[in-house]
Structure 1
Amino acid sequence: MNTDDLIFRLSADLAPVRRHAVARRLAIGLAMGALVSIFYVVVMMGVRPDIGVAMHGFPFWMKWGYTVSLSAVAIVMTAQLARPDSGRLRWLWLMAIPVLLLASVGIMELIRTPPGDWLAMWLGDSWMVCPWRVLALAMPIFVGLLWSFRKLAPTRLRAAGAAAGLAAGAFAATVYCVHCPEVSAIFVLTWYSLGILLAASLGALLGPRLLRW
């Protein structure tokens, strides 16, 4: 059998892949996991009682703007790494934008706040639990993304796992915003980001084992 015959036989029964199939598959997995996290926040943790008032203030949208921006970049990276020809991650640098913007807001807060209050503003009332709650809420979303990868073809498994964990952590932080009463930018930059990084680190650790195909 020559090479042309082999190629013809291997490709004879292939069905065309629908356009945007990767994005659709990731969206389904992400949505399934997010529904579990939302249910847990609403039913088990509880929505903050002043959510209506909070949504009219800057701190709430500051938090959502930060987490949603990270989510968007992370899911684009995840979709790229879900393909065997992932190539160079062109969008990675965009993650610096929300981080730098939030850091700028945090610096402005510190300038306006007496130094004696800096520690309280940084730690808030929930610094010890915030990262772990974000990590816990990320787990259903991460599992949903792992389900999505079952019919995809990643080749850079550690990077794909890290991107999936990052996306899961950022989406989890977005969900957590409806419960968390903290308003300081420096709190969000530190403890939300730590929870997101924990999810990304876990994804990088598990990626080579769970994404192999």
Structure 2
Amino acid sequence: MNTDDLINSLSADVAPVRRGTVGRRIALGLAVGALISGAWVVLRFGVRPDLGVAMQGFPFWMKWAYTISLSLAALFMTAQLARPDSQRLRGLWLIAIPAVLLAAVGATELIRTPQTEWLAMWLGHSWQQCPWRVLGLAMPIFAGLLWSFRRLAPTRLRAAGAAAGLAAGAFAATVYCLHCPEVSAIFVLTWYSLGILLATALGALIGPRLLRW
């Protein structure tokens, strides 16, 4: 039997995959993980009491614009890497856009603020807890994405793990905004991003082990 005959024989009884299956699978894993992380924020940390007022101001939406746009860019990569034909990764540059825009906002804040207040803006009140909380909140979302990958066919396992970690970290940071009262762009750019990077690094580290098929 030649190669073409073998391929035809193996694929003869395989049902075609419905359009959008990859996206639905990833969305389901993401949604379940995000619900768990959201419940964790509400029960463990508590929603900030002035959330309604905060949502009327620029800082809250600045944080959400950063984390949500980063989440979507990471999710776009995750969906590509869930397929076996992911040798050429498209749209990688999209990840840089939210960080550059937030850095521009942070630079504007620094220009308008006396230098004596820069350290307080950068550290806020929770810089020591923020990255670790984002990392912890990312774990249920990361687990949900890994569950999604188990029924898919990633071949670049380290890259897929890193993309899933990045998406999980960014979505976790989005959820954490419901609790976090920090308002400085440089705080978000530093400490939120550190938590997201920790989740990305963890995903790259354990991705090859957990995604092997």
Shorter-chain TM band:
over 0.9
Counting only pairs closer than 5 Å after superposition, residues 150-161 of structure 1 correspond to structure 2 as 150-161=150-161
Compared with structure 1, are the counterparts of its residues 94 and 5 closer, same or farther at alpha carbon in structure 2 (3 Å cutoff)? closer
35-44 or 194-203, which deviates more: 35-44
| Shift, 1:146, TM fit | 0.5
Identity of aligned residues (%): 79
Provide the residue aligned with 2:24 in structure 1: 24
Provide the residue aligned with 1:130 in structure 2: 130
| Shift, 1:88, TM fit | 1.7
Counting only pairs closer than 5 Å after superposition, residues 90-101 of structure 1 correspond to structure 2 as 90-101=90-101
Counterparts of 1:55 and 1:34 in 2: how far apart (Å)?
Answer: 20
Query: Partner letter of residue 28 of structure 1?
Result: L
| Shift, 1:5, TM fit | 3.3
Compared with structure 1, are the counterparts of its residues 185 and 84 closer, same or farther at alpha carbon in structure 2 (3 Å cutoff)? same
- Give the secondary-structure state (helix, strand or coil) at the position aligned to 2:14: coil
Compared with structure 1, are the counterparts of its residues 205 and 57 closer, same or farther at alpha carbon in structure 2 (3 Å cutoff)? same
Query: Partner letter of residue 137 of structure 1?
Result: L
- Give the secondary-structure state (helix, strand or coil) at the position aligned to 2:109: helix
Counting only pairs closer than 5 Å after superposition, residues 166-177 of structure 1 correspond to structure 2 as 166-177=166-177
| Shift, 1:186, TM fit | 0.3
Alignment: residue pair count? 213
5+ long unaligned stretches in structure 2: none
Query: Partner letter of residue 113 of structure 1?
Result: T
Query: Partner letter of residue 26 of structure 2?
Result: L
Counterparts of 2:5 and 2:57 in 1: how far apart (Å)?
Answer: 66
- Listed one character per residue, the Cα deviations across residues 146-192 of structure 1 (whole Å, up to 9, x for unaligned) are 00001111111000000000000000000000000000000000000
TM-score normalised by length of structure 1: 0.98
Counterparts of 1:8 and 1:192 in 2: how far apart (Å)?
Answer: 50
Counterparts of 2:124 and 2:6 in 1: how far apart (Å)?
Answer: 65
Counterparts of 2:41 and 2:6 in 1: how far apart (Å)?
Answer: 54
Counterpart check, 1:87 vs 2:84: no
| Shift, 1:9, TM fit | 1.6
Counterparts of 1:111 and 1:190 in 2: how far apart (Å)?
Answer: 18
RMSD over aligned Cα, in angstroms?
0.8
- Listed one character per residue, the Cα deviations across residues 29-61 of structure 1 (whole Å, up to 9, x for unaligned) are 000100100001112210000000000000000
Counterparts of 2:30 and 2:119 in 1: how far apart (Å)?
Answer: 36
- Give the secondary-structure state (helix, strand or coil) at the position aligned to 1:170: helix
Which ranges of 4 or more aligned residues in structure 1 deviate by more than 4 Å?
none
Provide the residue aligned with 2:51 in structure 1: 51
Compared with structure 1, are the counterparts of its residues 2 and 92 closer, same or farther at alpha carbon in structure 2 (3 Å cutoff)? closer
- Give the secondary-structure state (helix, strand or coil) at the position aligned to 1:125: coil
| Shift, 1:8, TM fit | 2.6
Query: Partner letter of residue 89 of structure 1?
Result: L
Counterparts of 2:88 and 2:95 in 1: how far apart (Å)?
Answer: 15
TM-score normalised by length of structure 2: 0.98
